[in-house]
Amino acid sequence: MTPPGAIRAIWLTALATALIIAQAISANARPESFADLAQEVSPAVVNITTSTVVAQGTGPSPIVPEGSPFEDFFRDFQDRNNGEGNRPRRTSALGSGFVISEDGYIVTNNHVIETADEIIIEFFSGRELEAEVIGTDPKTDIALLKVDADEPLPFVSFADSDTARVGDWVIAMGNPLGQGFSVSAGIVSARNRELSGTYDDYIQTDAAINRGNSGGPLFNLDGQVVGVNTAILSPNGGSIGIGFSMASNVVTRVVDQLQEFGETRRGWLGVRIQDVTDDVAEAMGLEEVAGALVTDVPEGPAEEAGMKAGDVIMQFDGYEVEDTRGLVRRVGNTAVGKTVRVVVFREGKTQTLRVTLGRREAAEGVVPAAQPGETEAPSEAEILGLTLSQLDDELRSQLELDDNANGLVVSDIDNLSEAYEKGMRAGDVITEAGQQKLSSISDLEARIEDAREAGRKSILLLVRRAGEPRFVALSLDAPEDEPQ
């Protein structure tokens, strides 16, 4: 028979061993170094240099309000420095990307290459190859490039971003501020972030992301791409630990379509919708606050199927509809031409409709003709503390933009405004609002109205300065009540 003291000693020894093992497992969960991982994936990460021919200029020209005492000074200064005339010249910009196949397909951000007429890919080895654009998707800011190599290229694969958890280790790789190949480490700070785009599904990370990192990969510890580094929120344009990477599950769908068709082909239902609120649910007799309330049914697939304004879409193609965002993404990910079952709540009971989906891109390409008697759109306005002017040939020349550039130029700014506090200055060009391109003052006003109708408290602007993009979120003031 074993003495009680011996049993106690064995028990204590077993407990100590278990604690040591637990500590070892915990230590293994926190890698001492990312060196092996960085060495493994670096050959598939690329630097991207783009070049564009612009009209002329020797640098960004300040925009001085008319009548300013400095107006003559800046005009004389510009005349002296433009002595060679308005000859075109080439400008360059930097970004990042990564190889996804041995035959040379490369993923990056659309904003990295969208205005380029030449794209040079620099590999980790120092080798350089020229790339062609296979296709782009501005809605998710993804572009697919292709290089012709005489040998198989190192490449990386995509992870299932739905398995990424808040707190997981990630590393970002790319070409920050043109410094060449660089690695930064952090964690997944949040999931399913929506900046303002229809198909947004961002992973938020505190891994340092700066200008030049755009288009680069966000890796998990298995060396798989969990996201594409796209944007930062920052008051000064530099990293403050709030970076966003488009989730890989969104990217893979886009890349597959770009690879097959050279363009995206998203499903289109053909309705205008809004979220169901508590009071709407009560008024309509809904048991749950869920679904998407149809506010309008223009000509399109839903109208042909018999959908009506006031219907609440409860199910789409076998999936429960929680809110408008989920429905829009589900429809967009469904094949064009597929006939789906849509369950709607109408007049106190459910009804099933069969809808054959159209193509969203084709629907968005239909531009209504101008109506007789329409007044000319304003070319300048004061919005959100910014004095904005629509781009014209003169402003494009001053800012060294190509002839096809569109957007709104900040010609003046209120020094007490939120926009000024967040680093916006005269000379900045706003090219997108709510991840939709801008070409006029009315475009921005419409995006602001859309955001307010959707219940948003801010709107996200894509701002470019000297060709470098960054996102700036500006708060929306509540509109004044209309007279009854």
Residues recognised as catalytic: 111, 141, 214
Among 230, 205, 136, 277, CA closest to 460:
230
CB 461 within 8 A of CB 434: no
Q: Please return the burial class of 403, using the count of CB atoms within 10 Å of its CB with bins 0-12, 13-18 and 19+.
A: exposed
| Separation of alpha carbons 172 and 245, rounded Å | 10
Cα-Cα-Cα-Cα dihedral of 366, 460, 167, 206, to 10°? 130
| Separation of alpha carbons 211 and 215, rounded Å | 10
Write out the two tokens for 52: 């564009």
Specify the pairing of strand 45-54 against strand 118-122.
antiparallel
| Separation of alpha carbons 98 and 41, rounded Å | 10
Among 210, 281, 195, 211, CA closest to 246:
195
DSSP 158: B
Q: Which SS3 state, helix, strand or coil, does residue 363 take? A: helix
| Separation of alpha carbons 81 and 59, rounded Å | 10
CB 419 within 8 A of CB 240: no
| Separation of alpha carbons 44 and 459, rounded Å | 35
| Separation of alpha carbons 441 and 369, rounded Å | 18
Q: Which SS3 state, helix, strand or coil, does residue 371 take? A: coil
Is the Cα dihedral 163, 167, 173, 178 positive or negative? Answer: positive
Cα-Cα-Cα-Cα dihedral of 98, 471, 359, 250, to 10°? 40
CB 404 within 8 A of CB 54: no
Which residues are CB-contacts of 145 (< 8 A; sequence separation ≥ 6)? 97, 105, 106, 107, 108, 113, 119, 121, 131, 132, 133, 134
